């Protein structure tokens, strides 16, 4: 049997020293949408997400709470996993960097890099704040009137020299630049690529990749006084989950190199500079694409505890429903750019696009089949130019959607689908099947079938964004599970007539503001 093409997509692993916020959920649903799209489009998909559980901040947060790091993780990681459930993620695995498999993988990649001669022991020096337990770059520090050098938190810093292992990042500068030039799609969007190219062109310094001042991390092989510094540990998760260091394992052979790492724009450098260098050093292939998405802003302002506008993702799901929230963020925000949201914008989107346009179109057309044709899906008669036109538009959706998803333009894929929904409403209003009921019932049947066929294709294409709602819509027209893949789109397949469908029920309810408790 012919094997499916493979597709490996990941989110960044979240740092669970706090609870998940909407930014975590956003990255996850965008990645999930692409993963689901590819599955429906016939790919063998692997979708990975997880948590990054080591590092000094985890240790500090735990200490402040009077907990051990493991206790903190026991408290917080389930929240991230619950977020995955709440947002209906379809991840195939959930990697935790405290897992044994990850320790093995991280130590293995370290040893490969060392064997290559890219790791050496030297002295790491820098400005260290005892109070912050953190190192700062020179430019992050300031000198006050008393000639005391201060870190960004306003705490005094001192010059500290610490033994550390270094990675020979500087040796990879030209190879990275060559790779960027030869693979313009490696870093996306383009603005992010320009920044990285500019940064690398400016010269690369070797990277300190171990610490001795705390022990919440993976021990360096052969030198347990050192633990690996954050990025070697964290980035390796993408291959840990494929069974590394067993590069002959089925998962690894099928899915490495990854097709897309979806990450926030703030960690582009680690993924587009450090990660490929590590991989080359270890003799592995580099991912095909690193996509840096933007940030979300609440009413145009960055979410922050001090401003008091931090939005709980679970609360959004409770208020609007998971599919509406998924649709809103994926349709409203140009993927790759920053986005803004508010109660008003979410309600507007879900009412206009989902309830009024798609939900109402399904309701008005399918209810006519139920009421006038005893629920029997009609067979179309001769197709008019109008019928042909709207069907051609519906058949064209999958091509546009594929093209958009190839470049992670999720919003464009959705815009293409909803443009057809809008046109279908115009078609339906112009054809006025309710008027044809008495004048030309046969023609009415053709209009209703045509509309139902458009709904079928729209619903199939809406599954990646709104799995549950789209599925419910397909249930309304009795599309079998096996016929919901993208191979059923594009005109090579049509909604069969003759089946008896149930009376439709609303798939996308309008959001109505709750009544004020005490009007008056």
Residues that bind RNA (CB under 7 A): 139, 142-143, 191, 194-195, 198-199, 202, 266, 269, 334, 337, 340, 348, 352, 355-357, 359-360, 362-365, 367-368, 371, 422, 425-426, 428-430, 433-434, 506-510
Q: Residues, the chain, total?
A: 520
Question: Cα(483)–Cα(207) distance, rounded to whole angstroms?
Answer: 52
Instruction: Pick the closer one to RNA by CB: 43 or 199.
Output: 199
- In contact, 79 and 32? CB cutoff 8 Å: no
- Residue 202, φ and ψ in degrees, nearest 5: -75, 0
Question: What is the nearest approach in angstroms of RNA to the Cβ of residue 294?
Answer: 10
Instruction: Pick the closer one to RNA by CB: 67 or 501.
Output: 501
Task: Indicate the Cα dihedral angle 137, 143, 146, 148, nearest 10°.
Answer: 10
Question: Cα(462)–Cα(472) distance, rounded to whole angstroms?
Answer: 11
Question: What is the nearest approach in angstroms of RNA to the Cβ of residue 179?
Answer: 18
Question: What is the nearest approach in angstroms of RNA to the Cβ of residue 307?
Answer: 16
Question: What is the nearest approach in angstroms of RNA to the Cβ of residue 403?
Answer: 13
**CA 257 distance to own-chain centroid:** 18
- Residue 163, φ and ψ in degrees, nearest 5: -65, 135
Question: Cα(390)–Cα(405) distance, rounded to whole angstroms?
Answer: 23
Burial class (CB in 10 A: 0-12, 13-18, 19+), 33: buried
Instruction: Pick the closer one to RNA by CB: 351 or 457.
Output: 351
Give the burial string for 290-310 (b: 16+ CB within 10 Å, else e): bbbbbbbebeeeebeeeeeee
From the list 93, 48, 99, the residue with the least C-alpha distance to 70 is: 99
Instruction: Pick the closer one to RNA by CB: 304 or 337.
Output: 337
- Residue 332, φ and ψ in degrees, nearest 5: -80, -35
Residue 135, both tokens = 């190192």
In DSSP notation, 89-134 reads ---SEEEETTSHHHHHHHHHHHHHHHHTT-EEEEEEEEEEETTTTE
- Residue 461, φ and ψ in degrees, nearest 5: -75, -15
Instruction: Pick the closer one to RNA by CB: 115 or 191.
Output: 191
Question: What is the nearest approach in angstroms of RNA to the Cβ of residue 191?
Answer: 6
Instruction: Pick the closer one to RNA by CB: 5 or 509.
Output: 509
- In contact, 329 and 29? CB cutoff 8 Å: yes
Question: Cα(45)–Cα(175) distance, rounded to whole angstroms?
Answer: 30
Question: Cα(250)–Cα(242) distance, rounded to whole angstroms?
Answer: 8
- Helix (H, G, I), strand (E, B), or coil: what is residue 505? coil
Instruction: Pick the closer one to RNA by CB: 111 or 475.
Output: 475
């Amino acid at each position: 049997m012919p094997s499916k093409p493979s597709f490996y997509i990941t989110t960044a692993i979240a740092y669970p020293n706090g609870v998940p916020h909407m930014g975590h959920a956003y990255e996850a649903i965008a990645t999930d949408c692409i993963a689901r799209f590819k599955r429906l489009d016939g790919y063998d998909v692997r979708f990975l997400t997880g948590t990054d559980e080591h590092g000094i901040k985890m240790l500090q947060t735990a200490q402040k709470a009077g907990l051990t790091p493991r206790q903190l993780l026991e408290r917080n990681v389930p929240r991230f996993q619950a977020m995955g459930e709440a947002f209906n993620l379809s991840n195939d695995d959930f990697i935790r960097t405290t897992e044994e498999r990850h320790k093995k993988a991280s130590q293995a990649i370290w040893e490969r890099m060392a064997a290559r001669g890219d790791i050496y022991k030297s002295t790491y020096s820098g400005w260290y704040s005892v109070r912050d337990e953190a190192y700062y770059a020179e430019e992050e520090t300031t000198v006050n009137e008393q000639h005391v050098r201060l870190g960004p938190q306003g705490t005094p810093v001192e010059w500290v020299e610490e033994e550390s292992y270094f990675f020979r990042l500087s040796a990879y500068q030209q190879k990275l630049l060559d790779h960027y030039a030869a693979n313009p799609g490696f870093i996306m969007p383009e603005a992010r690529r320009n920044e990285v190219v500019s940064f690398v062109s400016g010269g690369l310094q070797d990277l300190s990749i171990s610490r001795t001042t705390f022990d919440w991390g993976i021990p360096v092989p052969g030198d347990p006084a050192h633990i690996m510094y954050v990025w070697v540990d964290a980035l390796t998760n993408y291959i840990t989950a494929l069974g590394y260091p067993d590069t002959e394992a089925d998962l690894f052979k099928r899915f490495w190199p990854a097709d897309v790492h979806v990450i926030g724009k703030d960690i582009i450098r680690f993924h587009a500079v450090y990660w490929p260098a590590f991989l080359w050093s270890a003799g592995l292939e580099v991912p095909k694409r690193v996509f840096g998405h933007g940030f979300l802003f609440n009413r145009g302002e960055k979410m922050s505890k001090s401003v008091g506008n931090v939005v709980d993702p679970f609360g959004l799901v409770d208020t609007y429903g998971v599919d509406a929230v998924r649709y809103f963020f994926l349709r409203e925000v140009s993927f790759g750019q920053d986005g803004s949201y508010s109660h008003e914008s979410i309600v507007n989107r879900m009412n206009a696009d989902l309830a009024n346009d798609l939900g109402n179109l399904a309701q008005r057309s399918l209810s006519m089949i139920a009421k006038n044709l005893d629920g029997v899906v009609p067979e179309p008669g001769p197709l008019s130019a109008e019928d042909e036109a709207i069907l051609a538009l519906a058949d064209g959706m999958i091509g546009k959607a594929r093209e958009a998803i190839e470049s992670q333009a999720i919003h464009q894929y959705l815009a293409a689908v909803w443009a057809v929904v809008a046109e279908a409403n115009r078609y339906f209003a112009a054809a006025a099947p309710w008027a044809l009921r008495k004048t030309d019932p046969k023609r009415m049947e053709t209009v209703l079938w045509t509309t139902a066929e458009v709904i079928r294709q729209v619903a199939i294409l809406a599954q990646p964004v709104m799995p549950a709602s789209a599925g419910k819509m397909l249930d309304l027209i009795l599309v079998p599970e096996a016929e919901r893949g993208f191979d059923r789109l594009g005109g090579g397949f049509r909604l069969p007539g003759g089946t008896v469908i149930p009376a439709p029920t609303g798939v996308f309810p309008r959001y109505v503001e709750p009544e004020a408790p005490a009007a008056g």
